[in-house]
Homo-oligomer: A and B are copies of this chain.
């Protein structure tokens, strides 16, 4: 069973809206997921190649002008989901295993909540919450154990890290609450009015 990595998932979700060029994929991912999760070409193109090989996406070559004398042709490649790709995306969106709330995965998964049904959303949010709560205890314990045979700055770093995770848990609590009280279904058509860049 071929596993879908985070990067592929993000691309899958992105291409579900509309076909895009590699360049556009990169730019959008940089914009939507914030300055976090910037995507380098060194990851993008190999990943697209992998996905092509797996048959998840297809490449529509366009703008292929006649080959000039010894010249090249300004090739632009629009990638779109194949049916296999749509199926894989649907599969992935319906899943709510432990991998859904890993540090690296969660953000991307969350950004696709618009295409995810309410029950799955809730499971993922709760899983993430539990994971962070565990981490919370670990850090708190470690912080208590290091009490004062240690550098003040190191301790402060720990304390701050702890606070960060606490905020994260609060955020999740808010989201969970919200999800419970208003479990609206997957809303399609939320995105992509005619914006091109």
Q: CA separation between A103 and B35, bound complex, in Å? A: 12
For A35, what are the chain B residues with a Cβ–Cβ distance below 8 Å? Answer: 135, 138-139
Q: Are A150 and B191 in contact (CB under 8 A)?
A: yes
Q: Are B34 and A157 in contact (CB under 8 A)?
A: yes
Q: 13 A–B contact pairs at CB < 8 A?
A: A32-B150, A32-B154, A32-B158, A35-B138, A110-B153, A110-B157, A111-B153, A114-B153, A114-B154, A149-B191, A149-B193, A151-B190, A160-B171
Q: Which 3 A-B residue pairs are closest in the complex by CB-CB distance?
A: A113-B153, A114-B151, A34-B161
Taking the closest CB of chain B, its distance from the CB of A12, in whole angstroms, is: 15
Q: CA separation between A103 and B31, bound complex, in Å? A: 18
In the complex, what residue of chain B is closest to A33 when comparing beta carbons? B157
A125-159 near B? 1/0 per residue, CB < 8 Å: 00000000001001100100010011111101110
In the complex, what residue of chain B is closest to A112 when comparing beta carbons? B153
Taking the closest CB of chain B, its distance from the CB of A16, in whole angstroms, is: 12
Number of this chain's copies in the assembly equals 2
Taking the closest CB of chain B, its distance from the CB of A153, in whole angstroms, is: 4
Among B34, B139, B152, B161, which residue has its beta carbon within 8 angstroms of that of A158? B34
Q: CA separation between A193 and B138, bound complex, in Å? A: 23
Find residues 146-187 in chain A having any chain B CB closer than 8 Å to their own CB.
Answer: 146, 149-154, 156-158, 160-161, 163-164, 167, 171, 175
For A41, what are the chain B residues with a Cβ–Cβ distance below 8 Å? Answer: none
A26-66 near B? 1/0 per residue, CB < 8 Å: 00000111111000000000000000000000000000000
Tell me whether A142 and B31 are in contact in the complex, defined as CB-CB below 8 angstroms, given that A36-B161, A195-B149 are known contacts. Answer: yes
Q: A160-B171, A167-B167 are in contact. List 9 more A-B contacts (CB 8 A).
A: A33-B157, A34-B139, A107-B157, A110-B157, A112-B153, A114-B154, A149-B191, A151-B190, A156-B175
